[in-house]
Structure 1
């Protein structure tokens, strides 16, 4: 595995999305009880892939399901377990993300984890999503094993997750640049008590990068990338919150997560499988927030997803992969110059 190079997040460069404050880590792990783990496979040549797991610690003895919903922006993808989430409105497992042709092995591995936790269970619904990292990684080798998945799930922590070229984002590209995993959060003041909204992204989709309304096309910022610009194919978005919401309301959150892709220039192409999963960790004794009070929660979803998408690009590093293809990192200095000239930096 190649050593990771630390690159600043969008906010570190003065790129601030929206007016709501972030949580302490500005990450999905700011939602109490939500953990994230990565397993990364990177041989420096033709394998750049991995596993990212979002693990709600509230799932356990006494509570084996959380309110949840899935929204499909474009269904050209594989989200194993999504139909049951849509039918029953509950999440019964950690959410695992990986590369396209490894999704089925990952689902079987997650099933092993669930069966070990509930030896008497007869039905399980592992939820596993993917994006296609075949531009940089040899997807036909299907390198993900059960051990990779179990390590990501059992090693998940409440710290700020690593971003960029890590886990399921190791080999992904978006909006013409090298991308990967990104995360962000928002603290939302509400009538009775504040709530937190967090997002984690596996970005791998097409379009022209736009930050705070300023276009940052790869052809202009990285001219040598013209012939190596990867095709866009998919985005997985996970939204977590401790706001008490039911499955219907969570689907409204998931829908807005897909809308947020448009803020950064997504093309929503035919081959892009764009999915959002939203779940609530609030205790079952709390009544859902009235719909009329959801506007600040909607704003938090839009802003946290937008910033997580930007973080997935700003933290990624240039990567050479299978077939000699290269996905170039977003050049910070050039991007900052354009944003400063437009008066958008904080």
Structure 2
């Protein structure tokens, strides 16, 4: 039987961050169901990420990766145009990332520090035992039994490991995102993220490294706009007609060169973020609405936080998971307050289903089940 101190299921930013922070002191096995990172929406890091990268000893190497600085955010929201720049932020600019390159680098950093990485691998038949966990790994070479002292669920929104351990997933809305990529052929971008509200949802665009650009639309999965945006040309026509985003795309000389893709973007949490000997990180713990621009930061932060709690667990602190769960409960409460505030600033389409749902959520958000720790 293969043995490891920590098994991390999911090698995205949260899982790789946990691995690279644990690997110097413990045996760490990082597994992922994919053969390699894929390009996906979710490529913004706020300025505060600098502190995490410095603390983890990654800052200088991160700068050498060639990601594009983000100098602030511009919005057309609630009928008002606004701009928030990062010029006075003590942490400097934020960043627009090449997401696949960023994930590959984090994984390589974890391996360089001593973690083992298995791709095309999943974990099944998880059972608690006196000194940890037993399970089976399905690998390209066959089935392998494994014993781990600590488990970390970094498997994304599905949180399959957490649900296998008894947690329930709580989906809080129906938000989805449709996006595509292309090249800017016009003048250099100003380095700002851009969002614009519309009757059936909201839009996002940002310049990426290598003169690339992402264009995204967010709406609810059951609304007519969700069906319409299956058509790439509809997405491009509608974006070009917007009063703010349309001229911005025209000035950039944006030319789409990929088909439109769709993904879930709803807020979600689990009834438990941790228990004795296990922790959930990133989207497996808290899935953020992209409007918050905090998804990647949350992945890095919870990955680091779980690594610290996992280290204490392996040192004999049987209650390390309790403090971790309490910290995530505070993060969730702050996130929901801020999200309700920002959606509440748009009142022009208060009767439209997309906005009415979010305004109603401000009134009854206390009904959500608290994010707590759970014993299994």
TM bracket (short chain): under 0.3
* TM-score, structure 1 normalization: 0.28
Pick 1 or 2: higher relative contact order, CA cutoff 8 A, min separation 6: 1
Question: Which protein has the bigger helix share?
Answer: 2
Structure 1 or 2, whichever has the larger Rg, is 2
TM-score, length-scaled by structure 2: 0.26
- Name the one with the larger strand percent: 2
